[in-house]
Amino acid sequence: MTPTLTTSLHTLDISGILDCAGQWLTTIADALCGYPLFVLLIGGGLFLMCYSGFTSLRRLPHSIRVLRTKQSADGKATGQISSLQALASAVSATIGMGNIAGVAIALMMGGPGAIFWMWMSALVGMSTKYHEGVLAIKYKGRDRDGNPQGGTMHIIEHGLGRKWKPLAITFAFAGMLGTLCILNANQLTEALVAGVWNGDDTVSLRFAIGIAIAAVVALVVLGGIRRIAKVASYLVPFMVALYFALVSYIIVTHIQDVPGVIASIFTEAFNLRAGWGALAGIAIIGARRAAFVNDAGIGTATIMHGASRNTEPVKEGLVAMLGPAIDSGLVCTLTALAILLCGDISSGEVQGLTVAMQAFRTAIPYGDMFLLTIVLCFAMSSMFSYSFYGFTCASYLWGRRKARWYTYFFILSLILFAVVPLKAAVGLCDLFYAFMAFHTMLALILLRKKVKEETRCYFNKTSTTPNTSSI
């Protein structure tokens, strides 16, 4: 057999294996992340919202006042970062590929109507994030080396009791795998291939890009949570502002089409032409992609907000609940409008960033390059935060010193996920997120009375004029 033929067969085998794995993962993920995940996240979130007396909506002005208040550590504080840094880092994890690639995927799979259900998920997610933030501080624990940390695993162990520890351990394992930036690495590579190499997509090129991504991420994540939070607090606001400016330009230049696009979001959300099954499918697609966008109910927010120096659980919950409003409410809407106004979602092949970049290129000279720059920053900031999530889960299981090996594994995994097909990446993300969501939502529902009690005590103390100087 000639070397050329051997090489071709080798390439074919790799592609075939990856495609086959993608099909299997997609099938399994569809089964777990369809109706079960929809009922768990949306149904569970609605229950928490109603049980709490719509705290996340009624106390929104108060949460903004809390966020604006300067935070200082006191003698009781055990965290590493401020509440603002925790929010910025948590949002930096969600404002990334999910807000651009995730929205594009949702539009291609479910049409404009999927965006409406992403909005509903964000509204419900605010209440879920509030409960996560409260419990993250109330049940902050320590890893095996005695270092303070938060997360769903500590909420389960200390909030529900030691008999629930096996569930805490399984969450930690799912958290390590679910935060490997599978979709982020994959879609960032896709963006670089489309934007820099004009679509000349090969396995070797993706492998080389993966190595470059891993090297950049390593420079930040090996510095720990303080470096991650510092980078995120500067990077995220600037990139959001730039992204807002670009989409605003697209909206202004296509203002005559905006009413029709907005109308299509609402009409297609309740489109019954194809029956109730199709309507349910659109809703599930929107909620499924929203889970990846805002992480509400997944448990990652409990890890980041558990690292806050804040000693008041309710204040941390009020800060945490702003996350879905920023990423799913603002950034996802901007992305959806840009794609629906200037993009093409009629292709039968599911694409992510490629669709968004085509829309920006159509609307703005060199718009795809501007978007590529923003995507690079969004994706990197997401990876920085996700590395901390996985590291914290590993620290819970084995202690901080041994968890350093997980950081190296995280960095190397970026190379692998740069190569896998999009369907496989989406399937893996959804699968791990489903496992994490089950643990987190179960804990939130079982501990809802504790959250309600903390909320009542806090607002009884603060009355109508809260004293936020001690935050």
For the range 216-221, what are the long-range contacts, defined as Cβ-Cβ under 8 Å and sequence gap of 24 or more? 216/380, 217/380, 217/383, 217/384, 217/387, 217/411, 217/414, 218/411, 220/380, 220/384, 221/383, 221/384, 221/387, 221/388, 221/391, 221/407, 221/410, 221/411
Using alpha carbons, select from 171, 169, 183, 164 the residue that is nearest to residue 106.
183
Polymer length in residues for the chain:
471
Residue 322: what residue type? Answer: L
Q: What are the angstrom distances between the C-alpha of 92 and each of 74, 81, 125, 347?
A: 26, 15, 17, 30
**In the numeric block, which tokens belong to residue 208?**
């080389």
CB atoms within 10 A of CB 140: 25
> Looking up tokens 């106004």, which residue turns up?
341
Beta bridge partners of 308: 81
The DSSP output letter for 149 is E
**In the numeric block, which tokens belong to residue 427?**
């399937």
The DSSP output letter for 163 is G
pTM above 0.85, yes or no: no
pLDDT by residue, tens only, the chain of 471 residues: 444 444 443 444 555 555 565 566 666 666 666 667 777 878 888 899 999 888 888 888 888 887 776 554 444 555 566 666 677 666 666 666 667 776 777 777 667 877 787 787 788 888 999 999 999 999 988 877 777 788 899 999 999 988 999 999 999 998 888 888 777 787 778 777 876 776 666 778 888 888 988 888 887 777 666 666 666 666 667 777 888 888 889 999 999 988 988 888 888 777 644 333 444 444 555 555 555 566 778 888 888 888 777 788 988 888 888 888 877 777 788 888 888 888 777 665 555 667 888 888 888 888 888 888 887 777 777 787 788 889 989 999 988 888 889 888 998 888 888 887 766 776 777 778 888 888 999 999 999 999 999 999 988 887 655 444 333
Residues 6+ away with beta carbon under 8 Å from 61:
none
Q: How far apart are CA 42 and CA 57, in angstroms?
A: 16
286-296 core/surface letters (b: 16 or more CB in 10 A; e: else):
bbbbbbbbbbb
CB atoms within 10 A of CB 470: 11
Could you name the CATH architecture of 23-70+84-461? Up-down Bundle (1.20)
**In the numeric block, which tokens belong to residue 412?**
């190397």
